[in-house]
Structure 1
Amino acid sequence: MDLLIVDTLDAEVTQWLESRHSVRYAPELALDSREFRSALYNVRAVILPSSVPFGAKTLPFAPLMRAVGRVNGGAENIDADACMRAGIEVVRSATATAQAEAEFMIGALLSMLRRVPIAGTDGMLVGRELGAATVGLIGMPPAARAMASMLGGFGCRVIGYEPSLHASDGVWDRWKVAPMPLRELIETSDALAVQLSYFTRYQGLLGERLLPYCKPHQVMVSVSHSGVFDERSLADVLASGRMAAAWLDSLEPGALDEGRPLHGAGNLQITPRLGSTTRESRLRSAWAVARRIDELLMATPVAPNEFRPTSPGEPLDLAAEPESP
């Protein structure tokens, strides 16, 4: 079988794939890890929902695998290093969710600035306007370009930090974002938009060395993996009021449980990955993943004797010679 689809895709995308490849559509396998692994044996590509991991423990069940697709959600539970060593491409769209994430972050900043008031010059508690704010972008993925363009329409000053981009890189000018060191950006920004791609080396990056120095009354929205934050440091700046409000669109399970630093934080809002999930972004992402998987399957056709399907319980002697006619 060419392709196993465990995610729920739009019918037109599934039908297009079925017209070009042998496909099994089985979203129920997301709830049964044993059956899922058993289904991988003769499969060359798979499209998985964000709830299903794929890594070193799964690879022995997928000897023919060439591609693992993820349409929605992050890829934190796909072991990219293990896949690379096995010659498996992790297929995701880098740009399909950019517009959706940019709109989400701007909406979150508008909401927080208005509903978390601060004292005006006359002592009255009032909201703030996004157009008067300096907005700091931490991370410069494709969504940052869309966001910078929208923020320009509001009249914002936009500054940015990206560890993989030198300050002299032309992308800063093209996107109309002023590069700035991370600490200076945090000290300067009225609003932060965190969209840093997650790597283990960034675990707790936004912690005690940076967050206590945030600009007073700052608001922050993040679509990054919550691992980039140190929980205690974030809880402290929220509790002290130095950071007026934060909105995380991804938070690890249990982080709000009693006994954890963020438990009971009234000025922290959590949403379950809403930023990247819109009707339009899902369709763009599904088509991007489907077309790339189609390219990979077409480029690596199955050798005639590479494998054959077997029925459950049927013995298979891989060393046996084919019978003579």
Structure 2
Amino acid sequence: MRIVISEFMDAPAVDALRARFDVRYEPELVDRRNGLLQAMAEADALIVRNRSQVDAALLASAPRLRAVGRLGVGLDNIDLTACAARGIAVVPATGANARAVAEYVIGTLLVLLRGAYGASAAVADGQWPRSALSGGLEAHGRTLGVVGFGGIGRLVATLARGLGMRVVGHDAALPAGHPSWGECGVESCSLDALLERADAVSLHLPLTPGTQRLFDAARIGRMRAGAVLINTSRGGILDEPALAEALRAGRLRGAALDVFEAEPLPAGGPLAVLLADIRQGRLTAPPGLILTPHIAGLTREANARVSDMVASGVTIALTGGDR
């Protein structure tokens, strides 16, 4: 049986698959669409991250396909309905990168609240902006709003409470009486109430028709003045021009984005222009802005866990559990 791997996978997991299967490991296939479609002609399984599109065209080119492994948890790049109709197993790495994402959220939250970590060049150049950087904020006693209360959202809440933060949460699919809220010490509330109360908001939602542009200009406008926004879920949930405007106008203290509606983030867009203005000192009260290339869930440890979990799941799907 043949497995095609079209994006990066941890080497030991690839080797483990090679011990049992004919493996074609070509991470560059994600950028060679025609090559990927051709490779699928003899594939029994495909392993992807978030950029390979498992759509109607790919499925049509893969008559033998029995399993799709997803090196991550978001499934918006996979046609789940079509896979189910053909009996193709979809194997995500549920929970394997939760720790990495949660630590990213807390790390960027602390950086944005403190606002003091961008002055290294000035200090090394002999400047001493002590007064300008003495207005940072502490996380302790502040309120974090977690939107989406799955495994990652719950771990973020747990870490935040360890810092002495109050945590409120919203999840349209999780009833207010669900035990998960109490177990994590989190108060369930409506989304509007969360935005009114939270000093920081972290998004942990799948991208669906119901969450597309959920955080538009109106909803961003409901956030507390001086709040920060962190998105590690999917870029399409957030209206990027509206966020850039809110940051530029000083309504928000800062934002950290690891995901974008278009990836890679196009040059010259509202966020890129805003960041250039911040770097060039063209704003009197520059906000904090952290942009990273969809790596919140990527650490050495998470890569190993994710790859091992998917390799195991795909093996089971192909062999019926005979490992």
The TM-score with structure 1 as length reference comes to 0.83
Q: Percent identity?
A: 32
**Of the candidates 182, 186, 193, which is equivalent to residue 191 of structure 2?**
182
Per the alignment, in what secondary structure is the counterpart of residue 233 of structure 1? Answer: helix
Q: Corresponding residue for 1:170?
A: 179
Per the alignment, in what secondary structure is the counterpart of residue 185 of structure 1? Answer: helix
Quick check: 1:103–1:147 contact (8 Å CA) kept in 2?
yes
Q: Corresponding residue for 1:291?
A: 312
Aligned partners of 1:246, 1:73: CA distance in 2, in Å? 23
CA distance 1:28–1:154, change in 2 (3 Å): closer
Structure 1's unaligned 5+ residue stretches are: 118-122, 302-325
Aligned partners of 2:14, 2:242: CA distance in 1, in Å? 45
Residue type of the alignment partner of 1:206: F
Query: Which deviations, in whole Å up to 9, do the C-alpha atoms of 1:108-145 show, x marking residues without a partner?
Result: 0000001179xxxxx99611001121110011121122
Q: Corresponding residue for 1:205?
A: 214
RMSD (CA atoms)? 2.4
Q: Corresponding residue for 1:307?
A: none
Quick check: 1:47–1:68 contact (8 Å CA) kept in 2?
yes
Q: Corresponding residue for 1:304?
A: none
Aligned partners of 1:195, 1:189: CA distance in 2, in Å? 15
Quick check: 1:212–1:233 contact (8 Å CA) kept in 2?
no
Query: After the TM superposition, which segments of 4 or more aligned residues of structure 1 sit over 6 Å from their partners?
Result: none
Q: Corresponding residue for 1:239?
A: 248
**Alignment coverage as a number of residue pairs:** 295
Aligned partners of 2:54, 2:307: CA distance in 1, in Å? 19
Tell me how far 1:297 sits from its aligned partner.
0.5
Residue type of the alignment partner of 1:193: S
CA distance 1:40–1:263, change in 2 (3 Å): closer
Q: Corresponding residue for 2:87?
A: 87
Q: Corresponding residue for 1:58?
A: 58
Quick check: 1:251–1:270 contact (8 Å CA) kept in 2?
no
The TM-score with structure 2 as length reference comes to 0.84
Q: Corresponding residue for 2:124?
A: none
Aligned partners of 1:133, 1:256: CA distance in 2, in Å? 34
Aligned partners of 1:168, 1:149: CA distance in 2, in Å? 19
Query: Which deviations, in whole Å up to 9, do the C-alpha atoms of 1:250-305 show, x marking residues without a partner?
Result: 113386654x544522433211112101000010000110111111111299xxxx
**Greater Rg over alpha carbons, structure:** 1
Tell me how far 1:225 sits from its aligned partner.
1.1
Bigger proportion of residues as helix: 2
Q: Corresponding residue for 2:257?
A: 248
Residue type of the alignment partner of 1:89: A
Residue type of the alignment partner of 2:205: L
Aligned partners of 1:201, 1:73: CA distance in 2, in Å? 18
**Of the candidates 259, 266, 277, which is equivalent to residue 298 of structure 2?**
277
Q: Corresponding residue for 1:100?
A: 100
**Of the candidates 148, 162, 184, which is equivalent to residue 157 of structure 2?**
148
Tell me how far 1:74 sits from its aligned partner.
4.4
Tell me how far 1:7 sits from its aligned partner.
2.8
1:23-172 counterparts in 2 under 5 A? 23-72=23-72, 74-115=74-115, 126-172=135-181
Structure 2's unaligned 5+ residue stretches are: 118-131, 279-286
Quick check: 1:102–1:147 contact (8 Å CA) kept in 2?
yes
Aligned partners of 1:86, 1:296: CA distance in 2, in Å? 14
CA distance 1:56–1:145, change in 2 (3 Å): same
Aligned partners of 1:110, 1:21: CA distance in 2, in Å? 45
Does residue 221 (structure 1) correspond to residue 230 (structure 2)? The answer is yes
CA distance 1:247–1:256, change in 2 (3 Å): farther
Aligned partners of 1:256, 1:216: CA distance in 2, in Å? 28
Residue type of the alignment partner of 1:165: L
